[in-house]
Amino acid sequence: MSFSLETLRSLQVCPPEKAWQEIFSRSLEVCRAPLDISSGIKAIHDRDQEIGLMDLFLSSAGWDLWNSFDENVPHTADKAKEWWKNQQAGRAILVLDALSLRELPWLLQGAADQKLKVTSVSVTASELPPETTAFAKAMGFGQRSSLANNGIGKHPVFTKTRSESTDIPWEDCEALLTANPNWFFWHHWPDSRMHDFAALGKGLSNLTQEAIEQLSSKEFWSFIKNLATGRTLLVTADHGYAATGTFPDAHEDQAKFLKAHFSSQRFSPDIEKSWHSLPPVALALNSRQGEYFYTLGRRKWRSPAGYPTLTHGGLSVLEVAVPFIEIAAIG
């Protein structure tokens, strides 16, 4: 397994920046390996559990590393803007909302099948909280909907750029593309479907099957190829997600605390510092998006609306780590 005891011991003594580099690198190693479609759902569950070993470390012996997260990780928003500035005319960014490292195999296999050249694959970090609006603000958009109907406006970085934000089918997305050399396209999948599958009895298996179907479809790859024609393409995400349906139940006293302060969510703007045990079950962190209170690691608890089986906003690796994939221009 990639997260060996030796790895965990090294993370306790190395500088925070190095520790986060190692965590992201190991997570990429676990998640990017090719998968056979016939065994995809089981393999994704297995990989999710392997990443869970890192979450266990980050919520126990290594919990204080979260205090250094914001200043020691490569933020997706910063890297995307830097990437854009370093490209010549003919560039496009596709944000797939809530795309996690779990979906990497299908993207990479699909690109290979379509004879597209993937020039780099890396991991970048969401904002804190790992939510859509936090990422939109970090990009300078205010909110995701600002990009709809070419609403990007006179952005200081994305000049002379067409934009769209939508949840329509891939073939309809393709019909929206124009010959403009610069595009920023924010699609709401898989986040929109993640919430559909968050009810009890559904969850990671359903979303994995959905991802296999969508990321293997001719409609998706026709859209990607059109977007990459004459443009270097960056595919990334605003945040990932937690498969909370697979999380263990919190102990009774912890569950009462978490339910009282978070209800069915994984972060809150109401800062509470009354949980005094170490390691903590929740952390107050002051990031560049402001101060929030976050659930820590992999725990779930009973809530009036039923705790969702898929969600985001808390502190776990697959909520904060997202793919950052460059595809060479066609033609």
Cβ neighbours, 10 Å, residue 88: 8
Single-letter amino acid code for the residue at 20: W
Q: How far apart are CA 49 and CA 308, in angstroms?
A: 18
**Could you tell me the two tokens for 23?**
């965590």
pLDDT score at 273: 63
Domain boundaries, the chain: 74-242+318-327
* Contact status, residue 117 vs residue 127, Cβ threshold 8 Å: no
Q: How far apart are CA 242 and CA 298, in angstroms?
A: 8
Residue 267 bridge partners (DSSP) = 294
Q: What is the 3-state secondary structure (H, E, C) of 165-198?
A: EECCCHHHHHHHCCCCCEEEEEECCCHHHHHHCC
pLDDT score at 1: 47
pLDDT score at 91: 98
pLDDT score at 118: 98
Cβ neighbours, 10 Å, residue 40: 19
Rounded (10°) CA dihedral 83, 88, 92, 97: 10
pLDDT score at 275: 65
Question: What does each C-alpha distance from 237 to 136, 251, 303 come to in angstroms?
Answer: 11, 33, 29
pLDDT score at 6: 77
Q: How far apart are CA 123 and CA 113, in angstroms?
A: 23
* Contact status, residue 228 vs residue 265, Cβ threshold 8 Å: no
pLDDT, averaged per 10 consecutive residues of the chain (331 residues), comes to: 71 93 95 88 94 94 95 98 94 98 97 98 98 97 95 92 98 98 98 86 90 97 98 98 95 92 93 76 94 96 87 98 98 89
**Could you tell me the two tokens for 84?**
């854009």
**Could you tell me the two tokens for 48?**
């999710």
* Contact status, residue 72 vs residue 310, Cβ threshold 8 Å: no
Q: Which of 101, 122, 126 is nearest to 35 (CA)?
A: 101
How much is the pTM? 0.96
**Could you tell me the two tokens for 161?**
């750029």
